[in-house]
Structure 1
Amino acid sequence: MRETMMLRSLMAVGDVSVNVKAGSMADWELRNCCDRQQIAFVATVGVYIFVILALWRTPLLTPFKLITVYLHEVSHALAAKLTCGKVEGIEVNLNEGGVTHTRGGWMCCILPAGYMGSAFWGMVLIVMSPNSITVRIAAGVLIASLIITFFLARNWTLRWLCLAFILFLVLVWVIQEVTKVKLLRYTVLFIGTMNCMFAVYDIYDDLIQRRVHTSDAEKFAELYPLCPCNGVGWGVIWGIFSFLCLCAAVYLGLIILD
Structure 2
Amino acid sequence: MKPNWELKNCCNHEQVVFLVTVAVCTVLILALWRTLLLTPFKLVTVFLHEASHAVACKLTCGHVEGIQVHADEGGTTQTRGGIYCFILPAGYLGSSFWGMILILASTKLLTARIAAACFIAALFIVLFVAKNWTLRGLCIGFIIFLGIIWILQETTKVRILRYVILFIGVMNSLFSVYDIYDDLISRRVHSSDAEKFAQECPCPCSGVGWGVICISFQGFDIICVSMRSCVPGCCHLVLTQTQSHFHQTQNQKFHL
Which residue of 1 is the match for residue 154 of structure 2? 177
Distance in 2, Cα, partners of 1:158 & 1:29: 45
Q: What are structure 1's unaligned runs of at least 5 residues?
A: 1-22
Which residue of 1 is the match for residue 117 of structure 2? 140
Q: Structure 2 residue aligned with 1:47, among 24, 36, 57? A: 24
TM-score, normalised to structure 1, is 0.85
Task: Say if 2:183 and 2:194, in contact at 8 Å, map to a contact too.
Answer: no
TM-score, normalised to structure 2, is 0.85
Which residue of 2 is the match for residue 97 of structure 1? 74
Distance in 2, Cα, partners of 1:32 & 1:169: 36
1:228 aligns with 2:200: no
Q: In terms of mean alpha carbon deviation, does 46-55 or 119-128 score higher?
A: 46-55
Which residue of 1 is the match for residue 193 of structure 2? 216
Q: Structure 2 residue aligned with 1:256, among 228, 235, 238? A: 228
Distance in 1, Cα, partners of 2:20 & 2:45: 22
One-letter amino acid of the structure 1 residue matched with residue 206 of structure 2: W
Q: Which runs of structure 2 are paired with 1:187-198 in the superposition (5 Å)? A: 187-198=164-175
Q: What are structure 2's unaligned runs of at least 5 residues?
A: 231-256
Task: Say if 1:123 and 1:245, in contact at 8 Å, map to a contact too.
Answer: yes
One-letter amino acid of the structure 2 residue matched with residue 256 of structure 1: R
CA shift digits 1:159-205 (9 cap, x unpaired)? 01000001101111111112344301000001011111001011112
Which residue of 2 is the match for residue 11 of structure 1? none
Q: Which runs of 4+ in 1 moved over 4 A?
A: none
Task: Say if 1:126 and 1:253, in contact at 8 Å, map to a contact too.
Answer: no
CA shift digits 1:7-36 (9 cap, x unpaired)? xxxxxxxxxxxxxxxx2x327664432222
Task: Say if 1:127 and 1:250, in contact at 8 Å, map to a contact too.
Answer: no
One-letter amino acid of the structure 2 residue matched with residue 118 of structure 1: S
Over the aligned positions, Cα root-mean-square deviation in angstroms equals 1.6
Which residue of 2 is the match for residue 244 of structure 1? 216
Task: Say if 2:67 and 2:131, in contact at 8 Å, map to a contact too.
Answer: yes
Alignment partner of 2:73: what SS? Answer: coil
Name the % identity: 57
Q: In terms of mean alpha carbon deviation, does 29-38 or 80-89 score higher?
A: 29-38
Distance in 1, Cα, partners of 2:23 & 2:117: 26
Task: Say if 1:73 and 1:90, in contact at 8 Å, map to a contact too.
Answer: yes
Q: Which runs of structure 2 are paired with 1:54-65 in the superposition (5 Å)? A: 54-65=31-42
CA shift digits 1:22-67 (9 cap, x unpaired)? x2x3276644322221111111111111111221111111000000
Which residue of 1 is the match for residue 139 of structure 2? 162
One-letter amino acid of the structure 1 residue matched with residue 165 of structure 2: V
Which residue of 2 is the match for residue 20 of structure 1? none
Task: Say if 2:3 and 2:227, in contact at 8 Å, map to a contact too.
Answer: no
